[in-house]
Amino acid sequence: MQRIAVVTSGGDAPGMNACIRAIYRAGKFYGVEVYGIRRGYAGMIEGDFYKIERHDVGNIIHQGGTILGTSRSREFMTPEGRQKAADMLLEHEIDGLILIGGDGSFRGGNLLSCETGIPIIAIPGTIDNDIPGTDFSIGFDTAVNIALESIDRIRDTAISHGRLFFVEVMGHTSSFIALEAGIAGGAAQLVLHDGHEEIEELCNQLESLFRMGKHHAIVVIAEGDQPGCSFGISKKVSQRIQMESRVCVLGHTQRGGSPTARDRVLAAKLGISAVSALIEGQNGVMVGELMREIAYHPINDVVGKIRDPDPRITALSKILTGY
């Protein structure tokens, strides 16, 4: 293993740059050249490679996003597109590939490895935290803290005006951000993916709170498949309980910004472990962290799998909300 490449694919996540930096430094430590691939799989197909030097990773540990850029490539979804990508990797004499991304990126990388034999190690980088085989993915902690800061700010206005607020957080297929930000932010109620249609129950819970003397409330909603769903929920609730409400959709603000210390340390651990895995001859695995220990899982075992929130955290949220 003399030359490896790193690519970021799919949605960006805070901490990706810290991971790229760790991969470069691990490469220097082990005497391996590290190449960057710009613009995700699209850049891989087009041969947009460059050798990463020390100055490329200087002062990026605190930056959000990804210096490599990212994209979603339709061409890579085809066998012909993946073969083009493999040809470019071989042309640049790449011995192994490190992929930072989420489930969709893992699917593409797994197919590339299976079809061409190119060694691949995957690193979970997604704010959704929905990848099995790791307690946390890179970017999740930062996204939760950004959502929490917004909830704290909104509470000031909610208290001042005696108003009901619906705060919608990201999480296309998962409720992890809504769950943790809602608990940490003292939300009156949480509406997770499986509760979007339970409007009557939500109204009853809110009415009970207001009868007990509460004059404001914040409801945190997981966006689900349809970003902006909170507007419909807000309208139905307001009509039912006859109370004015406001909606705040946090959206992509949760993806940007400087990563937290927790995300930076996780990125460093996973980046260095990914380089070590390639050098040791591992292939087709994802590196994660379980119970503070590095863990490796075949990519086949994690792609397409639904990871549900810890039931203990869900039970905790039920105790903390509604009183």
Catalytic residues: 128
Inter-residue contact 64 to 14 (CB < 8 Å): yes
Which amino acid, residue 227?
P
**Coil vs helix vs strand at 132:** coil
192 vs 208: CA distance, rounded Å: 20
Which amino acid, residue 299?
I
Inter-residue contact 220 to 185 (CB < 8 Å): yes
The residue with tokens 């909300």 is 321
285-290: strand order across its sheet: 49-51, 33-37, 3-8, 96-101, 120-124, 285-290, 293-298
Q: Which helix (H) or strand (E) holds 105?
A: helix 103-116
39 vs 105: CA distance, rounded Å: 13
Tokens standing for 323?
């009183």
Nearest alpha carbon to residue 16 among 173, 142, 149: 142
What residues does 96 pair with on adjacent strands? 4
Inter-residue contact 127 to 167 (CB < 8 Å): no
Q: What is the DSSP letter of 51?
A: E
Q: For residues 14, 19, 24 and 28, what is the CA-based torsion angle, rounded to 10 degrees?
A: 140
Nearest alpha carbon to residue 75 among 67, 66, 64, 84: 84
The residue with tokens 């946390």 is 136
